């Protein structure tokens, strides 16, 4: 079985994790002491939160990690009741061969506040048998009572150098030749996101024998739908209805998340100003609106509505 | 006599609207008269626009006619007995045609009508007589096959202006003193339904012989709950805060009202600045809805309501004197139109979510890369094999099927690798046993490894744990990983590019398929 490279090259041990040294050091202490508090991993996508949690669990629970470990993704449609039931059923059982059991609840910031309050009660009820690891993108979306019950680890975007080294290693291991420039381009576009970097690498590799800068740029333009570009062009030229339709197609049909839309819009107008196709002042105005939109989405507003409002600013 | 009967058109000419359609019908009739058989005529259109009336007018052109409508029991037998016979056996004495009218054929439903649609199909096939079918819903499943076998005439709503003139004529005829503005408004509100316009007019004006705007208000206020469209219209058309605030008091999900208003802002407002301002208010309203949800403090709703109500209404410089077709949020109809595609998307996302430890949304964000990677036959095979994607799901990422040749080669390889791996695992198992003298665990299912540690004393447990995590756990894994990594890099150096595929296969296995894989 050959999964995509992101999965194939997921670090299996803590010391293989790149660029989060201070966190790893701290976690290794927990392993030595054989005890740990509830943990919360926060940080942007693709920087190793899930990877770290999985590696830590295997290390600290040792041979019996499988029986003592429950992994759930909080964000999916299963419904909070199922999630809670799973947690309850799991936590009711005693640890087998280990001092405690671990519940890993991934992407918790997608849980409603009500669900989070319920979760907090569960965390309290089973303190004797189970330890929780939570992960999220924004700790601000997590209710205070949960935050105060966790040791919080803030993951940072991975440094360009570290990503570059990793990409080189993977390319070598897969027997691909590459231009260093190509890998640098990937690093630039990935913005500290290792998952994205590796996905781009494999995409570029699938196009030929050698990973070239051209191949990478090809991937960048293909993976960023044309739609975003024409959406912005439409809005800038005054066609709000047209732009709004493209936005909805992207978000409803392709399922692009609000955050991704914001990133892609940012990249698109950045490119326009870099190519000197957009006036600096206009760029700065738009940037301010975009930042505002970004902020409101993080504050819990409806991403599509906020982005529609953003598009009117382009008119 | 009811006005709808009294004013029912007696000739084609009197029927309002649908000029082209009437011509088509006339041609159909004259063909029959010239003994040239025609396909059945299927009249489709919304209620109250004259479909049944037209059928009756046509009937006069034939010597005889039979009519059935939805209120008749239309079981298979009934239809065959009454219509089926007469449609196949033409009169012996004269060869005049008998017109058969089947009204509201899309209304056939329930158990009694089982076979009804089939019966109609058979009647159409056998009939040597002219046949008129009438239906409301062009997209009804029940008329799907009928449509194919007929000449379809799509009837349109009657235009406001024609309806307006018609109502004036009735007013004159009945001696009613009517305000022309009120009549115009009635025509507009009837949205092309002549029957309902006449009925409303009769109810209000028959007794008191006058007709004014207020009368209309009484009628529409009978059901005094404002609809979402009423609120919407007020927000967009008015600039009076009091009116707008009143209009916002309706029993609807306020976030839904917001969607309606947002949807129609660019339809009503024309100046860029107005759209900007209005949408800024929507954005703020939405922000407060979010805050209300998150804090569970629904007191925030009142701010949201003012932003999307008064805020949006005051965003325009002047009110527009125009008729705007207001619509429900298209993002919702978009949702239902794209259901199939989204289901497929979600099925794939669910599979990825499980295997790649990611949420649906992260999974979906990887789709564009998969679209590129899947262009490569081997990668496409590998990944879909890993994720256990079915053919439809693979098609989401690449149009062409994966070539049989590639699949066969890959499958052979898989078998070979499995055997090799078994060998390696056995070797490793022995290796570990010697070194650590503990039992090794090779990919057992959780249940079978459920060793009974509960039976042991706490002390035992602890010491065992120390062994496991401190030496067996941590060190063992590190050693093995190192081992594997060395092997991998060595192989990579030794192998020239040519054997890439084969080689890639192996490194993949070694990199991950160790004892402690997920
Ligand atoms: N710090 C890291 N070091 C090495 N690889 C990483 C790191 N972070 C992410 N990756 C790569 O990206 C993939 C996704 O990482 P993951 O831990 O799931 O990210 P997230 O932070 O979103 O949970 C991993 O499978 C791995 O291939
Ligand atoms: N196009 C029309 N022109 C004039 N009157 C009409 C028209 N359509 C409907 N009416 C009025 O409405 C009544 C009902 O019309 P009908 O033909 O039964 O509608 P449908 O069959 O389309 O539901 C008629 O008796 C007539 O008074
Ligand atoms: Mg994750
Ligand atoms: Mg009718």
Q: How far is CA B196 from CA A97, A268, B5, B179, B191, in A?
A: 77, 54, 13, 19, 9
Q: How far is CA B508 from CA A9, A170, A173, in A?
A: 9, 11, 9
pLDDT of residue B80: 60
Look at B328 and A47; give whichever has higher pLDDT. A47
- Looking at beta carbons, which pairs linking A239-246 to residues 24 or more positions away fall under 8 Å? A240/A311, A240/A312, A240/A315, A240/B266, A240/B272, A240/B275, A241/B266, A243/A311, A243/A314, A244/A308, A244/A311, A244/B266, A245/B330
How would you label B400-420 residue by residue, b for 16+ Cβ within 10 Å and e otherwise? Answer: eebeeeeeeebeeebeebeee
pLDDT of residue B450: 38
Residue A218 clears pLDDT 50, i.e. is over it: yes
Q: Give the residues across from B486 on adjacent strands.
A: none
SS3 of residue A20 by DSSP? coil
Q: Smallest Cα–Cα separation from B22: which of B47, B48, B57?
A: B57
pLDDT of residue A128: 83
CA B217 to chain centre: 35
Judged by CB atoms closer than 8 Å, whether chains meet at A3 and B488 is answered as no
pLDDT of residue B125: 82
Looking at the CA of A24, name the nearest ligand. Answer: 1
Look at A1 and B452; give whichever has higher pLDDT. A1
Measured distance CA(B298)–CA(B305) in Å, rounded: 12
pLDDT of residue A238: 94
Measured distance CA(B176)–CA(B174) in Å, rounded: 6
In degrees and rounded to multiples of 5, residue B74 shows phi and psi of: -105, 50
Contact predicate B152/B162, CB 8 Å: no
**Rounded (5°) CA angle B395-A243-B233:** 115
Judged by CB atoms closer than 8 Å, whether chains meet at A223 and B369 is answered as yes
Q: Smallest Cα–Cα separation from B378: which of B352, B405, B358?
A: B405
pLDDT of residue B89: 53
Judged by CB atoms closer than 8 Å, whether chains meet at A257 and B365 is answered as yes
Residues of B with CB below 8 A from A16's CB?
Answer: 481
Look at A11 and A301; give whichever has higher pLDDT. A11
Q: What percent of chain A has pLDDT over 70?
A: 97
Measured distance CA(A206)–CA(A4) in Å, rounded: 12
- Ligand 2 contact via B47 beta carbon (within 6 Å): yes
Tell me the mean pLDDT per 10 residues along chain B, length 518: 89 94 94 89 91 92 74 51 54 64 69 58 80 85 84 93 95 93 89 84 82 72 61 94 89 89 96 96 95 84 94 94 86 79 92 93 91 94 95 94 94 89 75 47 39 39 43 45 46 41 41 34
pLDDT of residue B240: 92
In tens, the pLDDT along A121-133 reads 888 888 888 999 9
Measured distance CA(B151)–CA(B153) in Å, rounded: 7
Residue B103's CB is within 10 A of a number of other CB atoms, namely: 19
Minimum mean pLDDT among A68-77, A173-182, B38-47: which range? A68-77
In tens, the pLDDT along A116-168 reads 888 888 888 888 889 999 999 888 878 888 888 888 898 999 999 999 999 99
Q: Smallest Cα–Cα separation from B276: which of A282, A232, A286, A313?
A: A313
Residue A287 clears pLDDT 90, i.e. is over it: yes
Residues of B with CB below 8 A from A219's CB?
Answer: 369, 372
Q: Smallest Cα–Cα separation from B38: which of B145, B103, B128?
A: B128
In what helix (H) or strand (E) does residue B119 lie, and over which residues does it extend?
Answer: helix B116-126
Look at A110 and B220; give whichever has higher pLDDT. A110
DSSP per-residue codes, B320-355: --S-------HHHHHHHHTHHHHHHHHHHHHHHHHH
Q: How far is CA A268 from CA A160, A231, B88, in A?
A: 21, 10, 70
pLDDT of residue A150: 87
**CA B45 to ligand 2: nearest atom:** 22
Q: At what angle do helices B377-387 and B404-436 cross, to 10 degrees?
A: 60
How much distance in Å is there from the Cα of A204 to the middle of ligand 1? 19
Residue A308's CB is within 10 A of a number of other CB atoms, namely: 26
Q: Nearest CA to CA, how far is B509 from chain A (Å)?
A: 7
- Ligand 2 contact via B107 beta carbon (within 6 Å): no
pLDDT of residue A240: 96
Q: Nearest CA to CA, how far is A11 from chain B (Å)?
A: 10
pLDDT of residue B233: 93
Judged by CB atoms closer than 8 Å, whether chains meet at B468 and A62 is answered as yes
Q: Is the ipTM of this complex over 0.85?
A: yes
Contact predicate A300/B288, CB 8 Å: no
Q: Smallest Cα–Cα separation from B331: which of B271, B258, B268?
A: B258
Residues of B with CB below 8 A from A45's CB?
Answer: 362
**Distance in Å from the first CA to the final CA of chain A:** 50
User: Which domains does chain A possess?
Assistant: 5-154 (3.40.50.300), 160-223 (1.10.8.60), 226-314 (1.20.272.10)
B8: left (phi over 0), alpha (psi -120 to 50) or beta: beta
| Residue A24 CB partners (closer than 8 Å, separation 6+) | A14, A15, A17, A52
Residues at CB less than 6 angstroms from ligand 1: A 6-7, 9-11, 17-20, 45-51, 158, 166, 194-195, 198; B 357
Q: Helix-strand-coil percent breakdown of chain A, rounded to 5? A: 60, 10, 30
pLDDT of residue B103: 81
In degrees and rounded to multiples of 5, residue B65 shows phi and psi of: -150, 155
Measured distance CA(A237)–CA(A239) in Å, rounded: 6
Judged by CB atoms closer than 8 Å, whether chains meet at A31 and B342 is answered as no
pLDDT of residue A124: 82
Cα-Cα-Cα-Cα torsion A159, A164, A165, A168, nearest 10 degrees, comes to: 160
Q: What are the residue ranges of helices labelled H in B269-338? A: 272-295, 301-306, 312-313, 330-337
**Rounded (5°) CA angle B218-B222-B227:** 105
Contact predicate B365/A256, CB 8 Å: yes
| Residue A237 CB partners (closer than 8 Å, separation 6+) | none
pLDDT of residue B85: 55
């Amino acid at each position: 079985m050959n999964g995509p490279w992101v999965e194939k090259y997921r670090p299996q041990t803590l010391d293989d994790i790149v660029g989060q040294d201070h966190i790893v050091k701290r976690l290794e202490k927990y392993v030595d002491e054989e005890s740990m508090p509830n943990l919360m991993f926060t940080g942007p996508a693709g920087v190793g939160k899930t990877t770290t949690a999985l590696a830590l669990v295997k290390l600290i629970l040792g041979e019996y990690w499988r029986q003592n470990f429950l992994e759930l993704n909080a964000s999916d449609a299963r419904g909070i009741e199922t999630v809670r039931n799973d947690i309850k059923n799991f936590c009711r059982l005693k640890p087998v061969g280990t001092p405690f059991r671990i519940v890993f609840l991934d992407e918790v910031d997608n849980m409603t506040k009500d669900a989070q309050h319920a979760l907090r009660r569960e965390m309290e009820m089973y303190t004797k048998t189970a330890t929780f690891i939570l992960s999220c993108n924004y700790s601000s979306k997590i209710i205070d009572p949960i935050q105060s019950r966790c040791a919080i680890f803030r993951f940072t975007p991975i440094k360009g150098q570290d990503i570059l080294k990793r990409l080189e290693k993977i390319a070598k291991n897969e027997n691909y030749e590459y231009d260093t420039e190509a890998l640098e381009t990937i690093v630039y576009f990935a913005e500290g996101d290792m998952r994205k970097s590796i996905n781009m690498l494999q995409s570029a590799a699938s196009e030929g024998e050698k990973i070239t800068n051209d191949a990478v740029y090809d991937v960048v333009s293909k993976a960023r739908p044309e739609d975003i570009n024409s959406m912005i062009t439409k809005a800038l030229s005054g066609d709000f209805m047209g732009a709004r339709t493209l936005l909805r197609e992207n978000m409803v049909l392709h399922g692009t998340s609000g955050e991704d839309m914001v990133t892609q819009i940012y990249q698109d107008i950045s490119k326009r100003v870099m190519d000197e196709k957009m006036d600096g002042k206009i760029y700065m105005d738009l940037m301010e609106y975009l930042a505002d939109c970004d902020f409101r989405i993080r504050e819990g507003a409806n991403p599509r509505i906020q982005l529609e409002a953003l598009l009117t600013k382009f008119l | 006599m009811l006005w709808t009967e009294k004013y029912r058109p007696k000739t084609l000419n009197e029927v309002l609207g649908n000029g082209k359609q009437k011509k088509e019908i006339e041609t159909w009739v004259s063909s029959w008269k010239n003994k040239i058989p025609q396909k059945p005529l299927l009249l489709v259109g919304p209620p109250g626009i004259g479909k049944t009336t037209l059928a009756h007018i046509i009937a006069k052109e034939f010597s005889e006619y039979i009519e059935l409508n939805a209120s008749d029991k239309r079981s298979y037998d009934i239809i065959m007995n009454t219509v089926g016979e007469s449609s196949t056996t033409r009169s012996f004495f004269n060869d005049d045609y008998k017109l058969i009218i089947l009204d509201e054929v899309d209304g056939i439903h329930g158990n009694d009508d089982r076979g009804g649609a089939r019966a109609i199909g058979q009647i159409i096939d056998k009939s040597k007589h002219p046949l008129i079918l009438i239906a409301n819903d062009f997209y009804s499943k029940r008329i799907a096959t009928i449509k194919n076998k007929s000449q379809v005439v799509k009837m349109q709503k009657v235009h406001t202006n024609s309806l307006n003139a018609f109502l004036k004529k009735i007013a004159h005829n009945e001696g009613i003193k009517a305000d022309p503005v009120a009549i115009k408004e009635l025509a507009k509100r009837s949205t092309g339904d002549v029957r309902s316009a006449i009925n409303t007019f009769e109810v209000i004006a028959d007794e008191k012989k006058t007709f004014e705007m207020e009368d209309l208000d009484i009628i529409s206020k009978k059901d005094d709950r404002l609809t979402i469209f009423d609120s919407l219209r007020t927000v967009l058309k008015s600039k009076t805060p009091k009116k707008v605030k009143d209009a916002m008091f309706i029993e609807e999900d306020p976030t839904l009202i917001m969607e309606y208003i947002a949807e129609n802002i660019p339809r009503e407002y024309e100046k860029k600045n107005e759209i900007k301002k209005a949408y800024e208010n929507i954005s703020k309203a939405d922000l407060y809805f979010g805050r209300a949800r998150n804090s569970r403090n629904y007191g925030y709703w009142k701010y949201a309501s003012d932003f999307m109500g008064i805020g949006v209404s005051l965003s325009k410089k002047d009110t527009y004197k125009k008729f705007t077709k207001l619509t429900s949020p298209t993002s919702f109809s978009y949702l239902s139109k794209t259901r199939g595609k989204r289901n497929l998307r979600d099925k794939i996302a669910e599979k990825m979510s499980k295997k790649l430890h990611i949420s649906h949304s992260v999974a979906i964000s990887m789709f564009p890369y998969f679209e590129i990677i899947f262009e490569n036959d081997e990668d496409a095979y590998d990944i879909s094999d890993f994720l256990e994607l079915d053919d439809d799901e693979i098609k989401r990422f690449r149009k062409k099927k994966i070539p049989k040749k590639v699949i066969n080669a890959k499958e052979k390889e898989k078998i070979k690798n499995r055997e090799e791996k078994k060998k390696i695992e056995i070797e490793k198992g022995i290796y570990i046993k010697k070194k650590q003298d503990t039992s090794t665990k090779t990919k057992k299912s959780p249940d079978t490894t459920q060793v009974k540690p509960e039976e042991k004393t706490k002390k035992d447990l602890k010491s065992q744990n120390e062994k496991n995590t401190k030496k067996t756990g941590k060190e063992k894994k590190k050693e093995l990983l190192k081992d594997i990594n060395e092997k991998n890099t060595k192989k990579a150096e030794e192998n020239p590019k040519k054997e890439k595929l084969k080689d890639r296969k192996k490194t993949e296995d070694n990199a991950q398929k160790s004892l402690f894989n997920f």
